[in-house]
Amino acid sequence: MLFIFIKTIHLFSAFIYGGFLITDNLFLNKMPRTLTTEEHKKARESFMMFVRKVVPPTLIVAVLTGLYLISQVFGTISDEGMTHFQILLSLKAFLGLWLGLRGFMQVYLKIQPLVFKGHQLPFAFVLTIIFLSQFMHIA
């Protein structure tokens, strides 16, 4: 029962973080086509005021619950090495940890990334994590 509860929290947290990245990359970046620079700046800041309160803690919750879930399903590594499931789960964990560390350092420690300052790479990582989630059980 605890596993299902934590998995549900993890999924909601991942949806919130992924939803922000989808909204930012697919919609907010297109607003300058129809809005003036001042209107776009005002609209984006209005959106980001809410995002700054919700998304960073949600990302941390997604990473922490993800670590718990991995500890429950990873299993032992056999003498032959990791299974395809374990390999894909490890890749998914690496991408999730990267997102979590980047977000934590940027928001809470005020360390801005030297490269990949936009949300395109995190968006690509989230899409990769989604696809890995769908294929790791059949691999």
* 70: Cα separation from own chain's centroid: 16
Residue 50 CA to residue 125 CA, distance in Å, equals: 23
2-26 vs 120-135: helix axis angle to the nearest 10? 140
In sequence order, which residues have a C-beta less than 8 Å from that of residue 9 and are 6 or more positions away?
Answer: 61, 65
pTM: 0.88
Average pLDDT over residues 86-102: 95
Write the pLDDT tens digit of every residue in 44-76: 899 889 999 999 999 999 999 999 999 999 999
